[in-house]
């Protein structure tokens, strides 16, 4: 079993441990050879799935025809719609009796997409989570409070067993009940918090409501995921809670959390690319984008037993980096997810991601990270223009009876939105705690335009 030689200093900034040194520091030629070997084995295995078998027959695909990693482009894409058409277990590659656990992802439609795991899948999942947790400072002597949901959602269980694998103590607090979260935190003194980034700020808000300085809480660092978040939001979380915040990435269809995560350098998330082949493609042309440019992540799960997927279109937009990381890991790295191709709003011909609004708001003194985007198209159909309204909570001390001060703040926010997103928005200032809080993925968009492709909601 891999082990990490952890430093006794609990400060993540000085943490240099690697969970699986052999796998995570594998030289590039050996890594590519392993990827090709695993890709060939996957093609041999996955041909039993009717969806893939029909494509393989039409295009004369076999393991022998996969001679290099460049042959990946010969393989078909898989989408969430494909999974739904073959619901629930049309992509299963093992006997149903070998399934050890079933999770699911509801996405934004509420229609569940089930994913299955064998015992070996669960062991792999725990190890992959252990990798990024250790990379971000987790040590066996730590106590971790998990404020993710425990259920069909993969976040809670994936991180739970990764923590257990490292040997740290777990507080399975689950999601919600912020007052209880704070009571647990103050009584049991966990060093580590795991939840969505938006819920980390909710915990900070809840502490202040109880007269507690959030910076006095015992947590020293956190691992956050489950929703896109900006670098500015990371800085806000770190300032409010006096912690270091680490990013990680995963999705239920591929395995859950564990696809990638940050090391102490925080220069991108290390992809566990001995187990996942990750492409970055133009969402329209499905051709590779230049290195370092944003594109849609497309993931092939090389070693998953129960439900491996070929070239799964995640719809997540990010960048890939191949330059060396000072931490010594040799894997490909990815940027934070800036949005989803299917969550992108097109307003008056301008492409807009909710994360751009968040970035703008956090650059204006006095605003918070709690906001709501509303899109309307009033007036006569065909003649009306889209209207964008951003409701943003501001700190209580920023409210003023002087209209000129409030108008100046609105104008500063509007100017920052225009500078970052290239679009004019109506800005509405609202009081603290007046917008809905979320314990899971935050819902930031209400689109009332009744477009043919339906409402957008991250």
Domain endpoint, select from 295, 322, 340: 340
Mark whether 171 and 310 lie in a shared domain. Answer: yes
Mark whether 137 and 273 lie in a shared domain. Answer: yes
Mark whether 365 and 263 lie in a shared domain. Answer: no
pLDDT of 166:
98
Tell me the mean pLDDT in the region 301-321.
97
Q: State which H helix or E strand residue 54 sits in.
A: helix 50-59
Whether 90 is in a domain gets the answer no
Least confident of 50-54, 210-214, 395-399, 452-456: 452-456
Average pLDDT, the chain: 90
Q: What domain range is 441 assigned to?
A: 345-447
Q: How confident is the model at residue 456 (pLDDT cuts 50, 70, 90)?
A: very low
Domain endpoint, select from 319, 340, 361: 340
Whether 385 is in a domain gets the answer yes
**Is there a contact between 300 and 254 (Cβ–Cβ < 8 Å)?**
no
**Considering the chain, what percentage of its residues have pLDDT values greater than 70?**
91
CATH number, domain containing residue 359:
3.30.300.30
Tell me the mean pLDDT in the region 447-455.
59
7 pLDDT above the threshold of 50: no
Whether 420 is in a domain gets the answer yes
Please state, in angstroms and as integers, the Cα–Cα distance from residue 122 to each residue in 5, 98, 158, 170, 224, following that order: 24, 12, 9, 18, 21
CATH number, domain containing residue 178:
3.40.50.12780
If one counts the domains in the chain, the total is: 2
Q: What does the CA dihedral 332, 333, 338, 339 come to, rounded to 10 degrees?
A: 40
Mark whether 227 and 329 lie in a shared domain. Answer: yes
pLDDT of 328:
95
Mark whether 169 and 204 lie in a shared domain. Answer: yes
Q: Which residue has the higher pLDDT, 414 or 454?
A: 414
Mark whether 326 and 377 lie in a shared domain. Answer: no
CA 429 and chain centroid, separation: 29
pTM reported for the whole predicted model: 0.82
Q: What are the tens digits of pLDDT across the range 77-102?
A: 999 999 999 999 999 999 999 999 99
Tell me the mean pLDDT in the region 283-305.
96
Mark whether 21 and 151 lie in a shared domain. Answer: yes
Mark whether 331 and 356 lie in a shared domain. Answer: no
Mark whether 438 and 415 lie in a shared domain. Answer: yes
Mark whether 375 and 327 lie in a shared domain. Answer: no
Domain endpoint, select from 307, 324, 340: 340
């Amino acid at each position: 079993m891999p082990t990490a030689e952890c430093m006794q200093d609990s400060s993540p900034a000085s943490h240099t441990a690697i969970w699986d040194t052999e796998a995570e520091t594998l030289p590039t030629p050996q890594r590519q050879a392993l990827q090709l070997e695993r890709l060939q084995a996957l093609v041999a295995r996955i041909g039993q799935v009717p969806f893939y078998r029909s494509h393989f027959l039409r295009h004369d695909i076999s393991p022998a025809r996969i001679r290099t990693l460049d042959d990946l482009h010969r393989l078909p894409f898989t989408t969430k719609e494909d999974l739904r058409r073959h619901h629930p277990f049309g992509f299963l590659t093992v006997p149903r009796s070998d399934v050890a656990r079933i999770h699911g992802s509801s996405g934004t439609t509420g229609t569940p997409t089930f994913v299955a795991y064998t015992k070996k899948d669960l062991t792999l999942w725990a190890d992959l989570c252990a990798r990024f947790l250790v990379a971000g400072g987790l040590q066996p002597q730590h106590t971790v409070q998990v404020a993710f949901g425990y259920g069909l959602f993969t976040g809670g269980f994936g991180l739970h067993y990764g923590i257990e694998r490292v040997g740290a103590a777990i507080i399975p607090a689950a999601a919600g009940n912020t007052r209880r979260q704070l009571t647990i935190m103050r009584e049991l003194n966990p060093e580590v918090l795991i939840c969505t980034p938006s819920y980390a700020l909710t915990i900070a808000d809840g502490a202040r409501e109880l007269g507690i300085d959030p910076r006095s809480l015992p947590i020293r660092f956190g691992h956050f995921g489950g929703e896109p978040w900006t670098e500015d939001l990371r800085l806000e979380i770190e300032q409010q809670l006096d912690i270091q915040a680490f990013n990680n990435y995963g999705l239920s269809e591929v395995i859950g959390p564990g696809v990638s995560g940050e090391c102490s350098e925080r220069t991108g998330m290390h992809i566990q690319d001995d187990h996942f082949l990750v492409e970055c493609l133009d969402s329209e042309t499905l051709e590779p984008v230049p290195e370092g440019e944003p594109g849609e992540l497309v993931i092939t799960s090389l070693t998953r037993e129960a439900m491996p997927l070929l070239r799964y279109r995640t719809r997540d937009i990010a960048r890939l980096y191949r330059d060396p990381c000072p931490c010594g890991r040799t894997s490909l790295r990815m940027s934070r997810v800036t949005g989803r191709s299917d969550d992108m709003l097109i307003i008056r011909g301008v492409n807009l991601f909710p994360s751009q609004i968040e970035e703008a708001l956090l650059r204006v003194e006095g605003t918070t990270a709690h906001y709501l985007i509303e899109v309307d198209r009033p007036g006569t159909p065909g003649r009306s223009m889209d209207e964008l309204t951003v409701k943003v909570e501001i700190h209580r001390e920023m409210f003023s009876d002087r209209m000129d001060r409030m108008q100046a703040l609105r104008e500063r926010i509007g100017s920052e939105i225009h500078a970052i997103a290239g679009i004019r928005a109506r800005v509405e200032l609202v009081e603290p705690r007046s917008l809905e809080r979320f314990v899971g993925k935050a819902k930031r968009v209400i689109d009332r335009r009744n477009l043919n492709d339906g409402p957008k909601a991250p």
